[in-house]
């Protein structure tokens, strides 16, 4: 099986929250690596921060769509976080020491996604046990 076929099969089998978790893990790792890079590595910092900003922008856009199934309060919270991330990203590009805030936000989202996966797995197990 080729790598491409494996990746396609993996993506199809993955839940939406698993995909979101994996994306947040990748972008967060990118920011953490940029923090550890030499000060001369400005392009690495800028790319990591921009990638994070684009992820949050996509999430905010998705939350504005009428067919988004999330509760209104959660959608509003995601949009608010996206606005904060967008504004704070400009600060981070000027002062990389401020990146920890963005990393912490992403880690909190990842924890929520992981908890959601655990709840789904538990409920699926309970349903399977009762069948």
Q: What is the largest CA-CA distance in the chain?
A: 60
59: CB partners within 8 A, 6+ apart: 78, 82
Domain of residue 43: give its range.
Answer: 17-130
2 found inside a domain: no
5 found inside a domain: no
114 found inside a domain: yes
9 found inside a domain: no
Question: What stretches of 16-98 show up as alpha helix (H) in DSSP?
Answer: 16-36, 42-63, 72-94
30 found inside a domain: yes
The model carries a pTM of 0.80
56 found inside a domain: yes
pLDDT digits (tens, 9 = 90+) for 91-107: 998 888 899 999 999 99
pLDDT digits (tens, 9 = 90+) for 1-10: 444 554 555 5
Q: Which two tokens stand for residue 55?
A: 């992820």
Domain count, the chain: 1
11 found inside a domain: no
72 found inside a domain: yes
């Amino acid at each position: 099986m080729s790598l491409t076929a494996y990746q396609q099969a993996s993506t199809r089998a993955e839940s939406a929250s698993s995909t979101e978790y994996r994306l947040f893990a990748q972008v967060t790792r990118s920011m953490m690596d940029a923090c550890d890079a030499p000060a001369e590595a400005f392009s690495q910092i800028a790319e990591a921060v921009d990638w994070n900003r684009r992820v949050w922008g996509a999430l905010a856009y998705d939350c504005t769509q009428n067919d988004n199934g999330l509760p209104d309060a959660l959608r509003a919270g995601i949009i608010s976080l996206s606005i904060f991330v967008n504004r704070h990203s400009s600060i981070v590009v000027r002062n990389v020491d401020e990146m920890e805030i963005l990393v912490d936000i992403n880690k909190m989202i990842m924890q929520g996604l992981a908890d959601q996966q655990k709840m789904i797995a538990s409920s699926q197990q309970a349903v399977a046990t009762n069948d």
